[in-house]
Amino acid sequence: MALSITSFWRTPTARLVQAFLAERERWPLWLPVMLGFGVAFYFSLPIEPPPYAGPSAVGVLICAALLLRRHGYVLLVVLALLALAVGFWSAQDRSARVAGPIIKGRMGPVYLTGTIVNIETRPRGLRLSLRDSLIAKQADWKPPRLVRLTLRHKPDPPLVVGDRVRLRAMLMPPAGPAAPGAYDFARAAWFKEIGAVGYALSRAEVVAVGERDGLGLRMARWRRNLALHLREQLPGQTGAVAAALMTGDRGAIPEDTLQDMRDAGLAHLLAISGLHVGLIAGWLFFSVRFLLALIPGLALHAPIKKWAAAIALLGAFAYMMLTGATVPTQRAFLMLSLMMLAVMLDRVAISFRLLAWAAVAVLLWAPESLLSVSFQMSFAAVVGLTAIYEGLGPTVIRWRSDGGRAKRLSLYLGAVLLTTLVASLATSPFALYHFNRAAMYGLAANLIAVPLTALWVMPSALAAYVLMLVGWEQLALVPMGFAIQAMLAVAHTVASWPGAVILVPAFSMAALSIMTLGGLWLCLWRGRWRYGGLLAVGLGIVLAGQGDPPDILIDGRGKAMAARLENGSVLVAAPYRRNSMTLSIWLRRWGRKEPIKDDRIMRCDRLGCVLVHHGHAVGFARGPAALEDDCRVADLVLSAVPVRFKCPSAKMVIDRFDLWRRGSIAVRWRDGVINVEGANDDRGDRPWSRPRSKNKL
């Protein structure tokens, strides 16, 4: 009996080992996955590791690999751990390289002087990024590398990148998560070198005009001027979209237009990504190759395909610089560079190996990208598409070679449909996790908008760039405007369909991670055992559906509070501002579009609110005057001010000190037991965690 049991377990293990060995050529594809594990491990730590942790681990594992180089399986494990350590070190080193001062707490009003390095147009004003900042009458001011300010007063004359300006402003540290588990803007700001954010209280006064500055500032100035020119040539939302596609500045796009694009599943067309970089390079490649093929001498004796690839690469680089060279654009250009290099070296242009090396380069250069939605969605889409077309490649080539024009047209339409379907399925877990919404008719919208963008919008944009050299860009901008209007019409129509959007409550990172690993297992292997990835994807979906949304949320300053009822509806402590970012995030994570109002459940006045929740009373005090009543009747007291006396009726008191320490707080009331989770509980003591100053309560 013992022998049979041993044989039972040995047989599956032997089969797994055999399947693993049979896919030796696919092993390198898991290198970026192991690097990603190392990066994720760094960001998951509760404390900042010592500076020597990363290089020490890498050094030890290199020595171990050299000593165990003749021990096959053991060496493989050591190499996997080495890749993990390298990912950890790259994240640690990147964090140290971008380190800069962060202000300790809320400051202002102050008179701030700084040099403009970027200007972003917003629907209700401008957003400035300032460097080399100074504050009047504060000699001990340690300037952050960048200060980001919202400017609502229209500047006169218009501001120019490179100008040194002076204004009156309120400053604060970059905000932490609006709720436990929500997006951590402070961490993102740390890697963007932003040490203070705020808003201007006065107009910006130019104290020095930027004349002698570097290439970066000149490019930013040219980009700003081009965006203004495009919005003048194509008024309204058409010009705003054209500016977004040609300069990367989409701040002028009206919010209702952005919402329609999101609801129709077309928001990715407005963010400069691999699609846009690839289209610019592709049109350049085929146009240059076509023109060179018209010259018989070159077509017969010169490597015009390689020349076209080199010119397309230069054009893609210029497009990246023109659109701001953001991290997603840099990532897309890197992947394109490997593809064009493969063409110039007579290698396969699209393969998993090239994709893996692109991911390795990105994770080593900007490891924080792993946490960004753009990295996750772009690589998910490319991995899924590469896996599908890797399997269908021979069949597609055979159908294309055997068919006429009608068959080729149907093949193209089928490829568009399949590409849209696969990309949508591959990116949907990340879209649901980050945005808590699913565009139900995104496939229909993309079937029209993607070919429109690929065959009309982006070729017109490329032609406009060229024609600008002679001042004839209107010849390309007018047809581009028609195409943009058609794209927006598709978005508006699809977004207006009943049930166009389904809102989904937030789910855990564990569920997303399991789905991601399952998808990678399914796509990166070739044997039958890869279908085990479907089980992991299914498990992740089950876990995502078992989320436990909080009953009450209160922000870290005690300014806002909201409660979720048993039927899923959300009540917000009045006054509710529709444009409040915090409350918008709360509603989205609860899977709700708008709050309701019910005075029977929540009553509010200028002193605070009283909420009846699960048969218990909750008091939300905005000031000391409301505390006396709340402490007599409430089972749970939430206070925006310190509570310095005992509350007889309360099972729990959460006051200003708790909010100061723990950030935004989520409360879950289960079977009469109150569970509290703070946004700062899992952030730990990291460089990007908001500095706490006792005199800033």
Give 451-457 contacts, CB < 8 A, sequence gap 24+: 451/416, 452/483, 452/486, 452/487, 452/490, 453/269, 453/275, 453/279, 453/483, 453/487, 454/279, 456/480, 456/483, 457/245, 457/483, 457/484, 457/487
> Between residues 685 and 37, which one has the greater pLDDT?
37
Q: What is the DSSP string of 261-300?
A: HHHTT-GGGTS--HHHHHHHHHHHHHHHHHHHHTSHHHHH
User: Is residue 102 included in any domain, yes or no?
Assistant: no
Which of these ranges, 10-19, 20-29, 295-304, 534-543, has the smallest mean pLDDT? 10-19
User: Is residue 279 included in any domain, yes or no?
Assistant: yes
Residue-wise pLDDT for 606-664, tens only, equals: 888 888 877 788 999 888 888 888 888 888 999 988 988 888 888 889 999 999 888 89
Number of structural domains found in the chain: 5
User: Is residue 174 included in any domain, yes or no?
Assistant: yes
Across 16-25, 330-339, 456-465, the highest mean pLDDT is recorded for 456-465
pTM recorded for the entire structure: 0.87
Q: pLDDT averaged over the chain?
A: 86
Question: Which one, of 285, 360, 252, 276, lies nearest residue 326 by Cα?
Answer: 276
Question: What does the pLDDT read at residue 574?
Answer: 67
Which of these ranges, 86-95, 267-276, 519-528, 685-694, has the smallest mean pLDDT? 685-694
> Between residues 267 and 217, which one has the greater pLDDT?
267
Q: Are 607 and 675 in a shared domain?
A: yes
Percent residues over pLDDT 70 in the chain = 92
Question: What does the pLDDT read at residue 198?
Answer: 93
User: Is residue 8 included in any domain, yes or no?
Assistant: no
Q: Are 392 and 495 in a shared domain?
A: yes
User: Is residue 626 included in any domain, yes or no?
Assistant: yes
Question: What does the pLDDT read at residue 293?
Answer: 87
Question: What does the pLDDT read at residue 694?
Answer: 41
> Between residues 38 and 560, which one has the greater pLDDT?
38
Instruction: Residue 554: count other Cβ atoms within 10 Å of its Cβ.
Output: 25
Q: How far apart are CA 392 and CA 410, in angstroms?
A: 16
Q: Are 84 and 154 in a shared domain?
A: no
Question: What does the pLDDT read at residue 97?
Answer: 94
Q: Is pLDDT at 1 greater than 50 in this prediction? A: no
Which of these ranges, 70-74, 204-208, 323-327, 557-561, has the smallest mean pLDDT? 323-327
Residue 59 belongs to what domain range?
A: 20-97
Percent residues over pLDDT 90 in the chain = 33
At 173, is the pLDDT very low, low, confident or very high (cuts 50, 70, 90)?
very high
At 399, is the pLDDT very low, low, confident or very high (cuts 50, 70, 90)?
low
Q: How far apart are CA 654 and CA 636, in angstroms?
A: 8
Q: Are 248 and 332 in contact (CB under 8 A)?
A: no
Q: Are 575 and 625 in a shared domain?
A: yes
Question: What does the pLDDT read at residue 394?
Answer: 66
> Between residues 147 and 336, which one has the greater pLDDT?
147
Q: Are 570 and 667 in a shared domain?
A: yes
> Between residues 291 and 414, which one has the greater pLDDT?
291
At 695, is the pLDDT very low, low, confident or very high (cuts 50, 70, 90)?
very low
Query: What CATH number should be reported for the domain holding residue 122?
Result: 2.40.50
User: Is residue 400 included in any domain, yes or no?
Assistant: yes
Task: Tell me the mean pLDDT in the region 228-239.
Answer: 88
User: Is residue 131 included in any domain, yes or no?
Assistant: yes
Give 385-393 contacts, CB < 8 A, sequence gap 24+: 385/419, 385/422, 385/423, 385/426, 386/350, 386/351, 386/352, 386/355, 386/523, 387/352, 387/522, 387/523, 387/524, 388/418, 388/422, 389/350, 390/351, 390/352
Q: Quick check: bond before 158 cis, omega within 30?
A: no
Task: Tell me the mean pLDDT in the region 497-520.
Answer: 92
Q: Is pLDDT at 211 greater than 80 in this prediction? A: no
Q: Are 334 and 207 in a shared domain?
A: no
Q: Are 127 and 194 in a shared domain?
A: yes
Q: Are 606 and 567 in a shared domain?
A: yes
Residue-wise pLDDT for 387-398, tens only, equals: 888 777 666 666
Residue-wise pLDDT for 114-133, tens only, equals: 999 888 877 778 899 999 99
Task: Tell me the mean pLDDT in the region 661-687.
Answer: 88
Task: Tell me the mean pLDDT in the region 512-520.
Answer: 95
Given 48, 71, 97, the domain boundary residue is 97
Q: How far apart are CA 48 and CA 54, in angstroms?
A: 11
Given 69, 97, 125, the domain boundary residue is 97
Question: What does the pLDDT read at residue 693?
Answer: 44
Q: Is pLDDT at 532 greater than 60 in this prediction? A: yes
Q: Are 176 and 290 in a shared domain?
A: no
Handedness of CA 315, 316, 321, 322 (dihedral sign): positive
At 247, is the pLDDT very low, low, confident or very high (cuts 50, 70, 90)?
confident
Q: Are 184 and 243 in a shared domain?
A: no
Given 213, 248, 266, the domain boundary residue is 213
At 509, is the pLDDT very low, low, confident or very high (cuts 50, 70, 90)?
very high
Q: Is pLDDT at 275 greater than 80 in this prediction? A: no
Q: Are 65 and 113 in a shared domain?
A: no
Q: For the CA atoms of the chain, what is the radius of gyration?
A: 28
Q: What are phi and psi of 134, to 5 degrees?
A: -135, 145
User: Is residue 625 included in any domain, yes or no?
Assistant: yes
Q: How far apart are CA 35 and CA 553, in angstroms?
A: 36
At 697, is the pLDDT very low, low, confident or very high (cuts 50, 70, 90)?
very low
Task: Tell me the mean pLDDT in the region 61-86.
Answer: 91
Q: Are 463 and 318 in a shared domain?
A: yes
